[in-house]
Homo-oligomer: A and B are copies of this chain.
Amino acid sequence: MSLLVVGSVAFDGLETPFGKVDRTLGGAATYFSVAASFFTHVNLVGVVGDDFSKADEAIFRGRRIDISGLERATGKTFFWAGRYGLDPNDRVTLTTELNVFATFRPKLPAAFCDSKHIFLANIDPTLQHSVLQQMKKRPRLVGLDTMNYWIEGNPAELREILAKTDVLMINDAETRLLSNEHNLLRAARHIFKLGPRTLIIKRGEHGATMVDSKGVFCVPGFPLEEVHDPTGAGDSFAGGFMGYLAGARSLSDAVLRRAMVYGSVMGSFAVERFGLERVRHLKRREIDARARHFAKLTQFRL
């Protein structure tokens, strides 16, 4: 079934202990859609500038990604540059140039307006809201990402969109900030009152935790010898998670758990190389092999 993503398409400058790239294709919607396209058809809505070439566009070709919603604007594409330490949480932003993204107003092609699944990547809640308003009917599942900047800066609009969100995917610090609760179980209960039925807490190297009315489910971080570039891990996770769900018949607890595993699989591949280098060359059988590896990592018999 159809999956719509709305978010940034960007160029990134990246420095990590394992190397440096001056300019590579990135952005939440890019990571998300490439990851999700292994599982389902993706409709992408975003904006790029006139520096976005045919060669850049190649990332989407030969995949189940419809880029008729990728707007071309006059000006430069969103650019972000950052530096990571050995601990991927030590991130310093060096440059943020919004460029054409500053005036981005998502416009959905008519064919996208009945998408059954939507992922609203981390953008202004006002814009996230405008996407839902363009839908013909309530989607089967709305997933949402946000960040401290919007939690503190646009709380009223964020509440509006949270009321229409099914699955909220944020990190532990954002969970605590949004709920004003240190304990993550209490924080989840608070967040359920705001709308979402499911909270996924992304914990980087510590994995991901899903909390809903059925209880708690934990997936560890995949043990890797080298995390070359943490950029895009969360959006690749979201792509694997939402992509798997969009292709699944039910949204049962067993299906949500599998989606958590496929999300973790895609996040773990994303960080193995710079930018999209690892994920763009990925084969489906590698994805399934790593999912089995996750089972080996966690399973036991009492």
Contacts and interface: CB of A to CB of B under 8 A. Distances in A.
Interface of A: 86-87, 182-186, 203, 206-207, 209, 211, 215-218, 220, 223-227, 254, 257-258, 260-261, 288, 291-292, 295-302
Nearest to A86: B182
29 contacts: A86-B182, A87-B182, A183-B224, A183-B225, A183-B226, A184-B223, A185-B223, A185-B225, A203-B206, A207-B218, A207-B220, A209-B220, A215-B297, A216-B297, A217-B300, A218-B220, A220-B220, A254-B300, A254-B301, A257-B300, A257-B301, A258-B301, A258-B302, A261-B300, A292-B302, A295-B302, A298-B298, A298-B300, A299-B299
Nearest to A261: B300
A88 to B, nearest CB: 11
Contacts of A254: 300-301
B297 A218 contact: yes
- Report copies per complex: 2
Contacts of A298: 217-218, 298-300
A171 to B, nearest CB: 13
A215 B301 contact: no
